[in-house]
Amino acid sequence: MDRASQALAQGVPPGVPDSYRALADHGNVPRSTLNYRARGRRSIEEKAQSQQYLKPWEEDVVVNITRQRPEADRLLQEQRSAGHHPVIHLNFLLQSATTHSQLGLAILPIDVKLITKPEDLYQWSISTAGKAALFNRQLSKHSTGAYIDLCNGVGVHFKAVPGEGAADYGQETRVVTAFDVPEKGREHFSCAREDAKEWHERFNAEVAKREALEIEMIGIKVENSELLADINALREAEVTRTDIKALREAEVTRTKEAREFLQITSRILQERALKASEDSQKITQAATCLKLGSNPLIRVEINEISPSFALVGDALIRLAILDTWFPSGASTGKEYLPRAGIVLARAEEGNNLVSDLASNNALNNVIEQDSLAKFVVKNPCQKDKLQRTTLASTTEAIVGAVCLPSQCYPLRWAEAIVPNRGSAPHHTAERKSRAPSHPAERKSQLLLIYKGLEWQRQGVLQLIGSITPGIFLDTLNCLDTA
């Protein structure tokens, strides 16, 4: 234990301030060393004792003493040439000076101990009583003075003698003498030859094993390449399967959409066909009742006809009017155009046909000739003269007049403007000379409307008939199968 450790162990004496400075001054130790010991840093002596090596000056003393003995100096040089640390802890000295030379025991220097046990191969015989204290602790725990005493006292004040374990050791091994050298050399040579032969066999076995391993490695590499090819094929198959699955899902989605579309279309067509059938039955009943015109009790009102067929009839009449006013094929050349039984004057070029026939003045003349003025929507600001109307308002007025059952002149006019679908056109003068109201006129009016409804019904039936019967069921079955 150094002085700093001793000062820390003793503590601060009475009357001394409790500080490192006062303790360092009182113990005559450096303050930094005292601080290091307080933090647990060991001193150089403690490190040397724990690591079993000497301080530099102690090494020099041991080396100088060792060199005074030729045998110890030779061992020291051998250890230095072998790269060992020059600090031999006196083990080489003790081993060379006692065990090997005195007892003939083969003991390693590191195994030489100062404190021995009864079962060890050797014991220390101390001839000087004053040197007995050197054998109370191990070699690494001694100081420099003890090392000097050990170096000087080997073979003088103490020596090694055989222990209890030396008897067993002598039976197992014997000391090699000069007569045993040739025999020992021959045995060594034969042993070396056997060892060489054994190593050669081992080498051949290792070479054969290595060749077998290389062949096995080649097979493993081939198998590995095949497995990699299989893995790549499986990955490609997985990708293909994923793509096929995605395509199937997309196809199923499109099939569902097509199925829904066909179902909606089928439902719409069925509803239209059912509606057309119901309206046709109503019109047939109305026509059947009209055939019994002699019976004054049977009357059919126009309001009993389905509104949907009335709209369709209006559209057909409107198309007939426009077809009469603007006939096809009249875009070029000059010709006489019939309109409501009136022979028109020669028109100009085809590009002037619309401006001449569909002008406000021409439409106003049509209204005045056919007594349609009361059906025209008048401008409230204009009181005296009839307002000029447009093509759309005139067409709506004509359609509205046809739908009224009590008017005969618009009915005749409607019959006149539908030459291909009704009776032949009549002259304006003839239409004006006819009686205004007669049961036959009502019947003709209803028949005209019935014809329009019948055209619409036939068109719906043709639309339904153009579809192959059972196409929706077959399509749905195909979709279910897919």
Percent of the chain beyond pLDDT 70? 37
Long-range contact pairs involving 57-65 (C-beta distance under 8 Å, separation at least 24): 57/144, 58/144, 58/147, 59/86, 59/87, 61/144, 61/147, 61/148, 62/87, 62/88, 62/90, 62/147, 62/151, 65/147, 65/148, 65/151, 65/152
d(CA 256, CA 234) in angstroms, rounded, equals 32
- Three-state secondary-structure class, residue 158: strand
Residues 311 and 325 sit within 8 Å (Cβ to Cβ): no
> Which residues are CB-contacts of 42 (< 8 A; sequence separation ≥ 6)?
50
pLDDT per position as a tens digit, 330-343: 443 334 344 333 33
Sequence length of the chain is 482
Q: Residue 289 has which token pair?
A: 């009742």
Q: Residue 302 has which token pair?
A: 């126009």
Q: Among 266, 18, 29, 48, which Cα is nearest to 144's?
A: 48
Kindly give the confidence (pLDDT) of every residue in the chain, 482 residues in length, as a single tens digit, with 9 standing for 90 and above: 677 777 777 777 788 777 777 877 777 778 777 777 776 676 666 665 555 555 666 666 666 665 555 555 565 565 555 554 444 444 545 555 454 455 556 566 666 777 887 777 777 778 887 777 877 777 767 776 777 777 777 777 777 777 665 555 555 444 444 444 455 556 666 777 787 888 888 888 899 999 999 999 999 999 999 999 999 999 999 999 999 999 999 999 988 998 888 888 888 888 888 887 777 777 666 656 544 443 333 333 444 443 434 444 444 444 445 544 444 444 433 343 443 333 333 333 334 544 555 455 665 666 566 555 555 555 556 555 554 444 455 555 554 444 443 333 344 444 444 443 333 333 333 333 443 445 455 445 555 555 555 554 455 445 444 444 444 444 445 444 54
* 471, burial (CB in 10 Å: exposed 0-12, middle 13-18, buried 19+): exposed
Between CA 374 and CA 382, with CA 377 as vertex, the angle to 5 degrees is 95
pLDDT per position as a tens digit, 389-419: 444 555 555 544 444 433 333 444 444 444 4
Q: What is the mean pLDDT of the chain?
A: 62
pLDDT per position as a tens digit, 237-279: 999 999 999 999 999 998 899 888 888 888 888 888 888 777 7
Between CA 263 and CA 401, with CA 308 as vertex, the angle to 5 degrees is 160
> Which residues are CB-contacts of 190 (< 8 A; sequence separation ≥ 6)?
none
Q: Residue 332 has which token pair?
A: 């070029």
> Which residues are CB-contacts of 36 (< 8 A; sequence separation ≥ 6)?
4
